Amino acid sequence: MTIGHTIWAIAEGYIPSQSTGTDRTLISHETACILNAGDVDADITITLYFKDREPAGPYRLAVPARRTRHVRFNDLSDPESVPRDTDYSSVISASVPVVVQHTRLDSRQPALALLSTIAFAVTG
Amino acid sequence: MTIGHTIWAIAEGYIPSQSTGTDRTLISHETACILNAGDVDADITITLYFKDREPAGPYRLAVPARRTRHVRFNDLSDPESVPRDTDYSSVISASVPVVVQHTRLDSRQPALALLSTIAFAVTG
Amino acid sequence: MTIGHTIWAIAEGYIPSQSTGTDRTLISHETACILNAGDVDADITITLYFKDREPAGPYRLAVPARRTRHVRFNDLSDPESVPRDTDYSSVISASVPVVVQHTRLDSRQPALALLSTIAFAVTG
Amino acid sequence: MTIGHTIWAIAEGYIPSQSTGTDRTLISHETACILNAGDVDADITITLYFKDREPAGPYRLAVPARRTRHVRFNDLSDPESVPRDTDYSSVISASVPVVVQHTRLDSRQPALALLSTIAFAVTG
């Protein structure tokens, strides 16, 4: 089943440099959850936008057919890592339709805070 | 009143295995809230997508006419239960138009964390 | 400026009966924020859907031209109050286009939890 | 790449007057994240709507080409500051297409609470 769009935008982006968690699951992070429900592998490129410099990227990754991938922006490193404590936005392009949702886990304080929203689907 | 779409996607999915709550309402859980505002019962099928295996499902359930149902992914068991601490996505198909919203309650730490977002409505 | 749609749906609904807050702003509550950016007053009707009974309502209220109103479901009382600790969904109809966003503040535990999402806009 | 719409609405708005955080990043705040992925600078105007008075604004700012700007409503001051502990809504107009996402960080209590949602995109 082919579901989704080929361009998505996430205007909000911010990775706190601090965490109180002690393992990977509880470290402050931002995630783009990408679902490829179709039968063709998806080539993904991510571009990051900042307040005061030219965009970074493209970051390249793949989401195979009938698979989902929860991409942590914290883990992006090629061509450069994502700066912490810095406002950014992202645009995600896919070679076939996918669905993108954005989530942040903030553990700067002992109590977790979570946010999530569907990304903006660019139609046409 | 017929409201909604017949296919919805939730790219984010993750059920923490840990909770600090002591009753059902405070156990970490993910929910798909499905509203059938129309006058015809809705047959629902849910398919789950993972990172490294073929999809699971279909899970089957019904939402009667003029009723809402808040489905906990934690409770799905046929054909198989939903693994904890594992990234997944879901696609929800309905025999008549419905509206789907996604919510997670995370009680891994004593302070609750909540997230919610409208699911992605597949048009046409 | 006329912005929005005339029918909106919020599939998620749940008012916890418990709060730890001591004033109105910190009591657990669900809110539908309704913006009427146009120049004509909006007559609003809200219908609530449940798991195991017929819908409740309509609840009637107004949002004047160029005004916003943050409606607490906790405060709805005519024709009946909204049950606590109970899953529900809502459909909001307006006589002119408006924009609806849904928010829950959960203060069952000392640390607040918040969720928010745009409601589902019914097109056409 | 031109992505987005030229009018966006955020029905939810509320800046708590209290915070427990000690630095700027942890003060309770509301943010509109505005992404201009295109090659033309965007002139932005923000109008605020209230419950019981005429709208405030327009507030004017710019988002250069290929840049993002996370605008804190707390910082708006011209033509007037945004009242705290007061319900409001906002409409954001842009001279070229942009993408807008809304986030609130609530630090009234020691544990952070976060919410975020895509703004409502006005089509056509």
Summarised one tens digit per residue, pLDDT across range D3-54 is 888 999 988 888 878 767 666 776 777 889 999 999 999 999 999 999 999 9
Residue A124 has pLDDT above 50, yes or no: no
Distance CA A111, CA C110 (A): 10
**At A83, which amino acid appears?**
P
Q: What is the mean pLDDT of residues B87-115?
A: 80
Give chain D positions within 8 Å (CB) of A113: 105, 111-114
- Total length of chain A: 124
A87: enclosing H helix or E strand: none
Residue D83: alpha-carbon gap to chain centroid: 14
| Range of weakest confidence among B17-21, C101-105, D78-82 | B17-21
Q: What is the pLDDT of residue C98?
A: 93
Average pLDDT of the residues of chain B: 85
User: A11 is written with which tokens?
Assistant: 């205007």
Rounded CA gap, D62 and A52, in Å? Answer: 13
The answer, yes or no, to whether residue D66 has pLDDT greater than 90, is: yes
Residue B115 vs residue B49, higher pLDDT: B49
Residue A42 has pLDDT above 90, yes or no: yes
Is A49 close to D37, i.e. CB distance below 8 A? yes
What whole-number distance in Å separates Cα of residue A68 and Cα of residue A55?
26
Mean pLDDT for B15-21 is: 74
How confident is residue C118, by pLDDT bands cut at 50, 70 and 90? low
Give D59: exposed, middle or buried? Use CB within 10 Å, 0-12, 13-18, 19+: buried
D115 touches chain A (CB under 8 A): yes
For residues C118 and B118, the answer to whether their CB atoms sit within 8 Å is yes
Assess whether pLDDT exceeds 50 at residue C124. no
Which residues from B are below 8 Å from C50, CB to CB?
Answer: 67-68
CA–CA gap between residue B68 and residue D2 (Å, rounded): 39
- Nearest CB neighbour to A33, from listed B89, B108, B113: B89
- Distance, in Å, from the CA atom of D12 to the CA atom of A112, rounded to the nearest integer, reads 23
Cα–Cα dist A20/A109, whole Å = 6
Mean pLDDT of C62-86: 93
**Tokens at residue D41, please?**
């600078």
Dump pLDDT digits (tens) for D97-122: 999 988 877 666 665 666 666 667 67
Q: What span, in angstroms and rounded, lies between the C-alpha atoms of A83 and A81?
A: 6
* Alpha-carbon span A63 to C2, nearest angstrom: 41
Residue D30 is encoded by which pair of tokens? 């509301």
pLDDT tens per residue across span C13-27: 888 787 676 667 767
Chain A hits for D113, Cβ within 8 Å: 113
Residue A55 above 90 pLDDT? yes
* CB neighbour class for B39 (10 Å; exposed up to 12, middle 13-18, buried from 19): exposed
Closest approach of B52 to chain C, Cα-based (Å): 30
Asked if residue A11 has pLDDT above 50, the reply is yes
CB C109 within 8 A of CB C20: yes
Query: Can you give the C-alpha Rg of chain C in angstroms?
Result: 14
Q: Do B116 and C109 make contact, defined as CB atoms within 8 angstroms?
A: no
Mean pLDDT of A98-106: 82
**pLDDT, position B29:** 76
C106·B100 Cβ contact <8 A:
no
Q: What is the pLDDT of residue D12?
A: 86
Nearest Cα residue in chain B from C120: B118
How far apart (Å, rounded) are the C-alpha atoms in residues B91 and B73? 12
On whether the CB atoms of residues D63 and C78 are closer than 8 A, the answer is no
d(CA D112, CA B48): 31
Other C-beta atoms closer than 10 Å to the C-beta of B23 total 6
Residue A103: per-residue pLDDT: 82
**Which residue does chain C place closest to B32, by CA atoms?**
C12
Cis preceding linkage at D58, omega within 30: yes
Residue A21 reports pLDDT greater than 70: no
A100 phi-psi bin (left φ>0, alpha ψ -120 to 50, beta other)? beta
Cα separations in angstroms, B46 against B57, B78, B94: 7, 11, 9
Does the N-terminal peptide bond of residue B16 adopt cis geometry, omega within 30 degrees of 0?
Answer: no
A chain contacts of residue B115, beta-carbon cutoff 8 Å:
103, 114-116
pLDDT at res. D113: 62
* CB-CB neighbours of D61 under 10 Å: 17
Residue D124 has a pLDDT of 43
Token pair 């500051």 in the structure block, residue: D81
CA dihedral A105, B31, B101, D115 (to 10 degrees): -30
D13 shares contact with chain C (CB less than 8 Å): yes
User: Is the CB of residue D19 less than 8 Å from the CB of residue D106?
Assistant: no
Chain C CB contacts of D49 under 8 Å are 35-37, 66-68
Residues A50-64 have a mean pLDDT of 96
Task: Spell out which residues of chain B touch residue C16, defining contact as CB-CB under 8 Å.
Answer: 25
| Range in B20-24, B97-101, C57-61, C72-76 the model is least confident about | B20-24
> Which among D12, D52, D118 has CB closest to C103?
D12
CB contact under 8 A, C33 and D110: no
Confidence of residue B114 (pLDDT cuts 50, 70, 90): low
Give the residue-averaged pLDDT of C76-82: 93
Percent of chain B with pLDDT strictly greater than 70: 81
pLDDT of residue A109: 63
Out of A11, A88, A108, the one facing D112 most closely (by C-beta) is A108
With CA atoms as reference, report the closest residue to C35 among B37, D102, A67.
D102
Contacts of C47 in chain B (CB under 8 A): 37
**Residue C56 in contact with residue C47, Cβ under 8 Å?**
yes
Q: What is the pLDDT of residue A67?
A: 97
> Residue B17, SS3?
coil
Q: Please give the Cα distance from B98 to B89 (Å, whole number).
A: 19
Query: Mean pLDDT over residues B73-102, rounded?
Result: 92
A120 vs D75, higher pLDDT: D75
Interface test with B, best of A44, A99, A103, A117 (most B CBs within 10 A): A99
Chain segment D42-57, per-residue pLDDT in tens? 999 999 999 999 999 9
Chain C: touching chains (3 or more CB pairs < 8 Å): B, D
What's the mean pLDDT in A67-91? 92
Q: Minimum mean pLDDT among B9-18, B34-43, C73-82, D62-71: which range?
A: B9-18
Chain B nearest CA to C120, separation (Å): 7
3-state secondary structure chain C: CCCCEEEEEECCCCCCCCCCCCCHHHCCEEEEEEEECCCCCEEEEEEEECCCCCCEEEEEEEECCCEEEEEEHHHCCCCCCCCCCCCCEEEEEEEEEEEEEEEEEECCCCCCEEEEEECEECCC
Q: Chain B, 35-94: which have a CB under 8 Å from a chain C CB?
A: 35-37, 66-70
Q: How confident is the model at residue A51 (pLDDT cuts 50, 70, 90)?
A: very high
**Per residue in B27-69, pLDDT tens?**
777 889 999 999 999 999 999 999 999 999 999 999 999 999 9
Kindly report the pTM of this predicted structure.
Answer: 0.90
pLDDT confidence of residue C83: 92
